[in-house]
Chains A and B, each alone.
Chain A
Amino acid sequence: MLRPLVSLIALSLFFISSSAFADARGEMLFGQHCVACHQFGGKGGIGLPLTPEKMENVDDLYLIRTIQLGRPGRVMPAFTELNLDDVRSIVDYMRSASNTKSVVFEASHLSGNPDRGEGLYHLHCVTCHAEDGSGAGEGTGVTLSRHRGFMVMPPSITNPGFLASASDPILEFAIKHGREGSGMLGFKDVGLLDEQGVADIVAYIRQMGSDQQVAPPLPEDERPTITIESPYDFDTTVSNVRQSLVGANFRIFPDRYLEQGLLDEFMVNKRQVGIRFCNFNELYGMLAIEPRVGVVLPCRITILEQEDGSVLLVAPNLKVVSRWFNNDNLVRLWAAMNEGLSSIMEEASL
């Protein structure tokens, strides 16, 4: 008599604990992969906010694809190591935490004209989303500790990851009704666009997206550092590097030996020295684009005297380093800086 009842209770407990376990799993995965950029509670940081206002305008497929594809060249990585169950757990948790549900959009019946959309885009969208849709202003996410042009940086709406994630109805909905809390206006709601105008802009965004280029891969033989052998002795090379840096308007910090602070001061090899330098104006600009640049900067040229007496100059190859951030703005900026760094090293070893 009691056996069916016990089985029923056990089964209920199993489902309850399974559900709790799934919630906990989603929360754990969110904490592990998303919180660093999107903040506790999804308030936003390097990444955009994931507040209820944002979540209630998109469907789950958009969120799933966004996690899987990321935003190539726009900081958000593609989480290819997560399987579909993991991704669904994260999305379920995001829905539960924001108390929102996946939006069911009606299929779009409008056919947009990108030529007409171009004019409308330039009239209504270009101030925030830039000429090419890549987003005006520098950087991503939310302004927290440094002044920037927008409180929430306009996302790149031509990014291939975004366009592959966002269906036309999602784009239409955002243009018509805006995005609360981000500064995005509801252009149909305020009477600036009609249905057809919205569809035309969507068609133009899709057209721009098909022309969008991400940074091409680096050649296979590119090394993580620039290394040059100096024809001079150690002391002359150190002096030459300092002179070249001053000539290039860098502020030079006190030198540090490579092993300084790692070994007893009497054991430190004093023929391995790092000359550290920075241009604060450039640094401030870089931090607006990418708050994590400190993992590489300030720049340092290390000068080593080897056992055979030869002297090497070594510096990070910024072309390689910039790829670790998934940030095309940084890739472009550091490609130019890398040329400057190479020139300084070459000048010091002429």
Chain B
Amino acid sequence: MKKFLLAALFLIASSAQAITNDMMMLRMNIKADVAIEYLKSALENRGYSIAHTQKCDGGMQSFGYTTDFYRSIFFGKGAEAREISKAHPDFVSYIPHKITVVAEREETVLSIVNPHVFDRFYPEDSMMLQHFKNWHHDILSIFSDLRAAERAHKLQ
């Protein structure tokens, strides 16, 4: 019963959180090189394709800067990308989506822009508003999948 109530509270709080915060973030208590693999699986399991992974730390290190693990994963859905670039070519800068994976010692922080930040720019466009809503929901689901993966990883 307590678990059920906590789960219900968790879901309520999740939806509330993301509507007002411009940035959606998740900290995982596992190393970044492991976290990124779980993230890729979670994205693919939710129907997204990974367009590419950018190794930002590698670029900086090759220029002599000191930095820890820092990657950006570009992901999206082909049909959506085509639909949006045709209807709203002014939006293509935000396609594909991008999520950063940053190491903080033994932990990992994931950050992504909350799709609802775009709502105010397309207030009358039901197609875009629906996309923003879907993406937001998917990100919450992916974060939830990652929490489950983290728990399973700790039990290994």
Contacts and interface: CB of A to CB of B under 8 A. Distances in A.
Interface in B62-78: 63, 65-70, 72, 74, 76-78
A126 interface: no
B26 A223 contact: no
Contacts of B129: none
Contacts of A272: 85, 92
A291 B52 contact: no
Interface in A177-229: 223-225, 227
**Residue from A80, A82, A262, A283 having most chain B Cβ neighbours under 10 A:** A262
B104 A39 contact: yes
A312 B60 contact: no
A206 B11 CA distance: 41
A262 B59 contact: no
B38 to A, nearest CB: 16
Interface string B92-122: 1111101110111101010111100110010
B26 A224 contact: no
A45 B121 contact: no
Nearest to A262: B78
Contact of A36 (B51, B72, B109): B109
Contact of A39 (B6, B16, B27): B27
Contact of A295 (B14, B23, B52, B68): B23
A316 B102 contact: no
Nearest to A17: B2
Contact of B17 (A32, A256, A300, A323): A32
Contacts of B96: 261-262
Contacts of A291: 102, 109
A35 B39 CA distance: 19
Contacts of B23: 292, 295, 324-325
B77 to A, nearest CB: 7
A81 B25 contact: no
Contacts of B148: none
Contacts of B81: 258-259, 262-263
A86 B16 CA distance: 12
Interface of A: 17, 20-21, 24-25, 28-29, 32-33, 35-37, 39-40, 45-46, 77, 79-82, 86, 144-147, 223-225, 227, 256, 258-263, 267, 269, 272, 278, 280-281, 283-284, 287, 291-292, 294-296, 298, 300, 302, 304, 306-307, 312, 314-316, 323-326
Given A45-B27, A316-B93, 19 more contacts: A21-B5, A25-B6, A29-B13, A40-B27, A80-B20, A82-B16, A145-B104, A224-B90, A256-B52, A278-B59, A280-B63, A283-B60, A292-B23, A294-B102, A295-B72, A295-B112, A298-B54, A302-B93, A325-B22
23 contacts: A17-B2, A25-B9, A28-B13, A45-B104, A45-B107, A45-B109, A46-B109, A145-B69, A145-B102, A146-B67, A224-B91, A225-B94, A261-B51, A262-B96, A263-B78, A269-B82, A287-B67, A287-B70, A291-B109, A292-B23, A294-B111, A295-B72, A324-B23
